[in-house]
Structure 1
Amino acid sequence: MTRSREDSEAELAQVVEGIKVDLGPEASWPSPVLLNGLALCVMNSIYSTGNRSERVVRVLDRYRRRRRDAGFDPALDGPKDLLAEIDECGGPEGFANALENHWRAWSSKTAPYKAEVIYQAAKLLDTASVNTREQLEEGLRDSVAHEHLKRGWQGLPGQGSGLTWRYFLMNAGMPGIKADRMIIGWTVRTLGRTTTPVEAERLLTDSASQLGVETRRLDHALWDYTRRTRRQQS
């Protein structure tokens, strides 16, 4: 159902007020983590969906230890380095074993490991000569290159929604809202009605603009608030 302009403006005001009440002044908001190396951005975006952040951190820490032990700085790793590390492990399955992680791309025993999706994502970026944040930013300025990367990412196993693509960009410091279960859940509770990912993204993007805050900062603050609230209620 198409909402009237008056309804849309009223809901935006409701969301803005909800942000102020739940989050307080921006100075008190937690800052989102900026992952300098694109390898960690790829891994975090794909491993994070459907999993608790603490468990994802442990997996990333295992990767960091492996790279440091091999004499490399994991914070600087790009997709090419990630591909080399996966190949060093004997491929995606060996990589999953090395990180002691066998999460799958979706909830089926026949689904590929997320390690396989990560390998394909790194290959997509490396083939497009995107191995640093600067190269990513340059690629995004070209509409054709941007669309190629986006479509390629959404063509990866289980990534059709585009959620992990947006989260990958946000991990690399780009603006955005990732309308995952936590963000949509907050929007639903605030408005008292069902909202789609597109609606949640639009409302929060417009709210960030009205409040004069970065979208990725608002996204992280709402995610953190929702996570803490759920823990207190459990």
Structure 2
Amino acid sequence: MSTDVERLRAACERDLGDPADWPGPFGYPDALALCIIDAIYVTGARHLTVEKVVERYRGYRAAQGGDADTDGAPELLANVEELGGPVQWAAEIGNRRPTSTVKGAPLRSAALIEVAQALVGLGIRTTADLRRVTEDSERYAQAKAAWCAVPGQRSGFTWRYLVLLAQQPEVAADPSVAGYVDRELGAADPAGVARLLRDVSESAGWDAAALHHAIWRFESARRDQRELPSTA
């Protein structure tokens, strides 16, 4: 086992808690529709609740002869339109949860439509499109701003989660995950980070995608702590 693998494994054991408590394998690298659904419904809910929404969407699309695991944003919008709009989509596939606790806050299904329309308007129709946007700082900032302008998405957490869900962690690591590795080992390219994560996972008997997700969540929590306003 290389020194880098040993050091990174030790850091993960120090920072990430019991692997039994990590989320399971996740992500939809070929289905922007599912990425959007998961990201919009994930906050403030047990992930089992989100999984049920995703499975209802999968089941509905399968009954149509479609494949939810390759659906992009246009297919998601077509599905909402076919069912009659956000209220009907919430009843059939989603749920009645609002975007926030503010009185009169719109349903999450309404936010789902807004973010999907915003992405399509920016030429982001598939996960491949979204991954390309992450490589262009100007387009990335534009897309993030459009997403965060939708009710309930202002913090940016769901945007970061969307991008993570669309990634292919076996190919390249999310920038936040790469940043974690950089702090521990020094600079490495995203593809090199992905290889290291695979090696660490194999040495420890962990799921590589779950490890990637656990590091991302750890980094996201650190970022949110840094962004909290000072009370001094």
TM-score after normalising by structure 1: 0.68
Partner of 1:171: 165
**Equivalence for 2:31:** 37
The CA distance in 2 between the partners of 1:20 and 1:131, in whole Å, is 34
Q: 1:121 maps to what in 2? A: 115
Identify which of 15, 22, 30 aligns with 1:19: 15
Give the 5 Å matches for 1:93-108. 93-99=87-93, 101-108=95-102
Conserved? CA contact 1:208–1:218, under 8 Å: no
Q: Partner of 2:140 in structure 1?
A: 146
The one of 218, 221, 232 aligned to 2:214: 221
2:124 matched residue in structure 1: 130
Residue 83 of structure 1 and its aligned partner are, at CA, apart by 0.5
The share of aligned pairs that are identical, in percent, is 32
- By how many angstroms is 1:17 displaced? 5.8
Distance 2:142 2:41 in 1: 23
CA distance in 1, matches of 2:111, 2:152: 8
- Report the Cα distance in structure 1 between the residues aligned to 2:100 and 2:84, rounded to whole angstroms: 23
Preserved contact between residue 39 and residue 79 of structure 1 (Cα < 8 Å): yes
* 1:208 lines up with 2:204 in the alignment: no
Q: Which consecutive segments of 4 or more residues in structure 1 shift more than 6 A?
A: none
Equivalent pair of 2:131/2:167 in contact (CA under 8 Å): no
Runs (5+) with no aligned partner, structure 1: 1-13, 178-200, 225-234
Q: CA deviation at 1:55?
A: 1.1
Offset from partner CA, 1:156-197 (integer Å, 9 cap, x none): 1011100000000000016448xxxxxxxxxxxxxxxxxxxx
Corresponding pairs, count: 183
User: Take 1:104 and 1:42, find their aligned partners in 2: how far apart are those partners?
Assistant: 16
Q: Within 2, Cα distance between the matches of 1:152 and 1:94?
A: 25
Q: Is the Cα–Cα contact under 8 Å of residues 170 and 216 in structure 1 kept in the other structure?
A: no
In 1, the alpha carbon distance for the partners of 2:96 and 2:39 equals: 16
CA separation of 1:206 and 1:131: change in aligned 2, threshold 3 A? closer
In structure 2, the residue matched to 1:62 is: 56
CA contact (8 A) 2:97 2:108 kept: yes
Letter paired with 1:34: G
2: CA distance, partners of 1:161 / 1:223: 16
Amino acid corresponding to residue 125 of structure 1 in structure 2: L
Structure 2: stretches of 5+ with no match in the other structure: 1-9, 186-195, 199-207, 218-232
1:84 aligns with 2:78: yes
Query: Given that residues 166 and 176 in structure 1 are in contact (C-alpha distance below 8 angstroms), is that contact kept between their aligned partners in structure 2?
Result: no
User: Which one of the candidate residues 21, 44, 52 is aligned to 1:50?
Assistant: 44
Give the CA deviation at 1:146.
1.1
Q: Which residue of 2 aligns with 1:193?
A: none
SS in 2 for 1:149: helix
SS in structure 1 opposite 2:147? helix
Match of residue 74, structure 1, among 61, 68, 80 = 68
How many Å separate the matches in 1 of 2:43 and 2:112? 13
> What TM-score results when the alignment is normalised by the length of structure 2?
0.68
RMSD: 3.1
CA distance in 2, matches of 1:168, 1:90: 25
Equivalent position amino acid for 1:55 in 2:
T
- Check conservation: 1:176, 1:216, Cα contact below 8 A: no
